[in-house]
Amino acid sequence: MVTPSAVKSRLRTQQIETPSWAYGNSGTRFKVFAQPGVPRTPEEKIDDAAQVHAVTGIAPSVALHIPWDRVDDYAALAKYAEAAGVRLGTINSNVFQDDDYKLGSVTNPDPRIRRKALAHLLECVDIMDETGSRDLKLWFSDGTNYPGQDDIRARQDRLAEALAAVYERIGAHQRMVLEYKLFEPAFYTMDVPDWGTSYAHCVRLGEKATVCVDTGHHAHGTNIEFIVAFLLREGKLGAFDFNSRFYADDDLMAGAADPFGLFRIMYEVVRGGGFEPESGVAFMLDQCHNIEAKIPAIIRSVLNVQEATAKALLVDRDELAKAQDSGDVLGANEVLMDAYHTDVRPLLAELRAEQGLDPDPLGAYRRSGYGERIVAERVGGEQAGWGA
């Protein structure tokens, strides 16, 4: 029997990192829709992230993307974040936006471009030293578009070489998390297309290298919770990039398209010990809000992850094990579905009240007037955002 107070006490430890780029303007390759009031600087993105934390209580850190969040003094930026009530989290490297990277970054056939990409990754580790960040997130857009375009094996060798150089550089308390993606921008081969490729590289590198599961980066029908269970069992699940998708890498609000899928993932996280703070699994959002208001959408996403987690924690694992061990197929399924069908919103409202938060985070944000204030104040200047 799982008690509501046991669920609440575990939920008190939850932390979900929000991505700086989700606060800025974004769009698709067809159009970027500018919204009034979006941040013009990394500091303003941090201010927005602090609002999300203030009303949810579970989003205490913000991930940076370099060079989108380039500043002269990262230690000062870390202090700024602290004063705003959040901290700087994962550093996301970006070796996909320069013209030089047309044929790849660390796997490019041209050694000059490989050196340039590696230098960027190493610079990201320097930045981590200044911000105090634990994790370096590596995502490579590298791949090929046509059969025969480049040597698939040679590209793996180049990738391994770059990863080893970064691994060598990271400190004892730092980690690298290697993200994979099935396709896009490359459409024939991606050099890190799936969890298996990421896992194999991470195993070779050592214990400071783990896999990042971005929920939008799989083929249709992929059982993501199986991947989660497997990686946790191997001690190789490092991080999540949560978002929701219908078709490809849609980057919609986590839990929007398939809340049941998010629940199934969170159940395996809980089951495999990934929800224990010592597990080191980082829970991050990686989203873009193209047509909806950004800060409320990020609040909604954080709450969706929290709701899925509450339901996962509600699963009566003793009852489940009994049903599983006795081969009671329908009974076992019912235990899981009972938890999923529970309306956890009253429990979460109660938890927030106990924590001195408004039970209704979205309402609290709307009533704060912050949204109107940033529209009035943030006029002029370049709007920082995806690709800025």
CB of 339 to ligand PSV, least distance (A): 29
If one asks whether residue 17 binds ligand PSV (CB under 6 A), the answer comes out as no
Residue 35 partner contact from ligand PSV, Mn ion, none using kind-dependent CB cut-offs of 5 to 8 Å: none
Distance CA 210, CA 35 (A): 36
Between CA 283 and CA 291, with CA 285 as vertex, the angle to 5 degrees is: 165
Among residues 135, 179, 191, 268, the one that binds ligand PSV under rule CB under 6 A: 179
Angle at 362 between CA 44 and CA 41, to 5 degrees: 5
358 makes contact, choosing from Mn ion, ligand PSV, none, with CB < 5 to 8 Å by partner type, with none
- Give the shortest CB-80-to-ligand PSV separation in angstroms: 22
Owner of token pair 């078709």: 247
One residue of 69, 225, 241, 307 binding ligand PSV per CB under 6 A: 241
Residue 47, contacted partner among ligand PSV, Mn ion, none, CB below 5-8 A by kind: none
Nearer to ligand PSV, 139 or 370 (CB): 139
CB 233 within 8 A of CB 272: yes
Closer CB to ligand PSV, 17 or 241, in the complex: 241
Q: Residues 194, 249, 250, 334: which binds ligand PSV (CB under 6 A)? A: 249
Is residue 181 close enough to count as binding ligand PSV by CB under 6 A?
yes
Least separation, in Å, of the C-beta of 190 and ligand PSV?
A: 11
258 binds, among Mn ion, ligand PSV, none (CB under 5 to 8 A by kind): none
Binding of residue 334 to Mn ion (CB under 5 A)? no
Report the half-sphere exposure of 355 (CA within 13 A, side-chain side). 22
Site string for Mn ion, 189-218 (x = CB under 5 A): -------------------------x----
Phi, psi of 296 (to 5 degrees): -60, -35
**Cα–Cα distance for residue pair 101/186, rounded to 1 Å:** 12
- Are β-strands 237-242 and 143-144 bridged in parallel, bridged antiparallel, or unpaired? unpaired
Position closest to ligand PSV via CB: 139
CB of 174 to ligand PSV, least distance (A): 18
Q: How many residues bind ligand PSV (CB under 6 A)?
A: 8
92 touches, from Mn ion, ligand PSV, none (C-beta below 5 to 8 Å by class): ligand PSV
Q: Pull the structure tokens for residue 39.
A: 């941040």
> What's the half-sphere exposure (Cβ side, CA atoms, 13 Å) at 354?
11
Nearer to Mn ion, 69 or 214 (CB): 214
Footprint (CB under 5 A) of Mn ion, residues 212-271: 214, 241, 249
Does residue number 319 form part of the binding site for Mn ion (CB under 5 A)? no
Q: How far is CA 157 from CA 144, 152, 153, in A?
A: 15, 9, 6
Q: Report, in Å, the least distance between residue 101 CB and ligand PSV.
A: 13
Which residue in the set 23, 74, 101, 139 belongs to the binding site for ligand PSV (CB under 6 A)?
Answer: 139
Instruction: State yes or no: residue 286 binds ligand PSV (CB under 6 A).
Output: yes
Minimum CB–partner distance for residue 245 and Mn ion (Å): 9
State yes or no: residue 92 binds ligand PSV (CB under 6 A): yes
What binding mask, one character per residue, do residues 272-311 give for Mn ion by CB under 5 A, x or -? --------------x-------------------------
Residues that bind ligand PSV (CB under 6 A): 92, 139, 179, 181, 214, 241, 249, 286
